[in-house]
Amino acid sequence: MHQTKVRVAEDALDANTTIAHANRADFDRESVSVVNLMSAPGAGKTSLLEAVFRAGLGDVRPGVLEGDVQGSLDADRLSHLHVPVTQLNTDGGFGGECHLDANMVRTAIPALSLADIDLLVIENVGNLVCPAEFRVGEDVKAMVCSITEGEDKPLKYPLMFRTCDLVVVNKIDLLPHLDYDIDALLRNIESVNPGVRTMLTSARTGEGVDAFREWLVNVAEREGVPA
Amino acid sequence: MHQTKVRVAEDALDANTTIAHANRADFDRESVSVVNLMSAPGAGKTSLLEAVFRAGLGDVRPGVLEGDVQGSLDADRLSHLHVPVTQLNTDGGFGGECHLDANMVRTAIPALSLADIDLLVIENVGNLVCPAEFRVGEDVKAMVCSITEGEDKPLKYPLMFRTCDLVVVNKIDLLPHLDYDIDALLRNIESVNPGVRTMLTSARTGEGVDAFREWLVNVAEREGVPA
């Protein structure tokens, strides 16, 4: 009898990565660029998106997938700006998880109307640990770091800072009112993720929001996006 | 043959609860009261403890179990105040978990010198989701909520606020510099945990720190501690 050589599957993927690839293929098919936006609770992800959407993204049609343990407070805020928003709650069948994973995002894809958007922002659950561990099919990861959280956060949550393509340092309008060394923060970011792009913003005053807006447009136009 | 009736074990416990009970028994044997202190990253747990330890706890001998994903930045800060501090890193054999559980705390007990302390403060990993789900053998749970995180956090992370015996609202020195409705925060806390004790503090100016200090002394003296 002719014996067939057994082939060993290489690059065996965990289930999350497999599903993330499937998500990515769906996004690519519809030419949708995807940002996985992460932060600690209350760092200002939603406020920054509000500021960006108010200014507009030019020809780029944005959409948002809003991840929360429960409720839809942020989705309600964004939907007032006439941006299509889909709510994804981790306590609805996902055990109240502290992060989004590829399978949760996959369940939301049918609700997303991918044909009508160019840029999908996935606003992850507020948490500096687990969201960094799960790819969801994104092109790029970005995080918002509020200066009220202290300069030490890159050293305490290095995986989050290391995994991101952009670190937005927010609430800089509060700088005069804090004992805060922003150079120390930037040094700490650089030490865990050398060369990563950073920008300083205040969603409240609008300072720096244009730079974040332009970065998002570039992601949508797939300029300067890591392969 | 004489047939024995099969006994069904009732109140079957999950492994975490079983180990939390074992921890609690060890703490009780040494008359150590235990606070599980939780918050989002950068809300000010360590700064509040610094302020409390500087003022002193009278006859109460404190100790700290410092939970972090990695590093010992907070433990280093507290050890300068001559308080015994033990570091517990979740990435050291615990997969970089985003919370402490009873088994992690159990591994740290031999290092704690329970005979030398009356009050153990377990400073959990900065996270508003999972730390609320795991009992570690504590007498009481407390959380720190910074006003820079927004008024909506009790509604977005209700389990954390609901599970605590005390909510410390910190960074109130920043109130004049924020668009913040502290009454809305207190209403939101009340809506998810009716009657829970709250206090307003600023670790930076010292405002309200005495109330937190007194609360900790009461826990150590087992006054007003839930059974």
Site of tokens 């005979």 = B115
The rounded mean pLDDT for chain B is: 93
**A105 CB-near residues (< 8 Å, 6+ apart):** A23, A65, A88, A122, A136, A137
Over residues A211-217, the mean pLDDT reads 98
Strands (E), A52-208: 62-68, 85-89, 119-123, 140-146, 166-170, 197-200
- What's the pLDDT at B94? 82
- A216, A218, A220, A223: CA torsion to nearest 10: -150
Distances in Å between the Cα of A94 and the Cα atoms of A48, A98, A100 are 27, 10, 9
H or E segment to which residue A36 belongs: strand A33-39
Query: Can you give the pLDDT at residue B224?
Result: 47
pLDDT in tens, A102-123: 999 999 999 999 999 999 999 9
Helices of type H across B41-181 = 45-55, 73-79, 102-108, 153-156, 158-163
pLDDT digits (tens, 9 = 90+) for A33-65: 999 999 999 999 999 999 999 999 999 999 999
At B82, list the tokens: 């001559």
Residue spans of chain B under pLDDT 70: 1-4, 7-12, 223-227
Our CA-based measurement puts residue A155 at a distance from the nearest CA of chain B, in whole angstroms, of 7
Q: pLDDT digits over A76-87, tens only?
A: 999 999 999 999
Give the pLDDT score at B9. 59
- Selecting from A70, A129, A204 the residue whose C-beta is nearest the C-beta of B69 gives A129
Min CA distance, B206 vs chain A (Å)? 15
Q: Is residue B197 less than 8 Å (CB to CB) from chain A? A: no
Q: Is the pTM of this model over 0.90?
A: yes
Name the band, by pLDDT with cuts 50, 70 and 90, for residue A217: very high
For residue range B167-182, what is the model confidence (pLDDT) as tens digits? 999 999 999 999 999 9
Contact A156 B126 (CB under 8 A): yes
How long is chain A? 227
Indicate whether this complex's ipTM tops 0.85.
yes
Angstrom distances, CA of residue A171 to CA of A42, A145, B148, B211: 11, 9, 9, 29
The SS3 call for residue B179 is coil
Task: Give the chain B residue whose CA is nearest to the CA of A130.
Answer: B98
Residue A92: pLDDT band (50, 70, 90) is confident
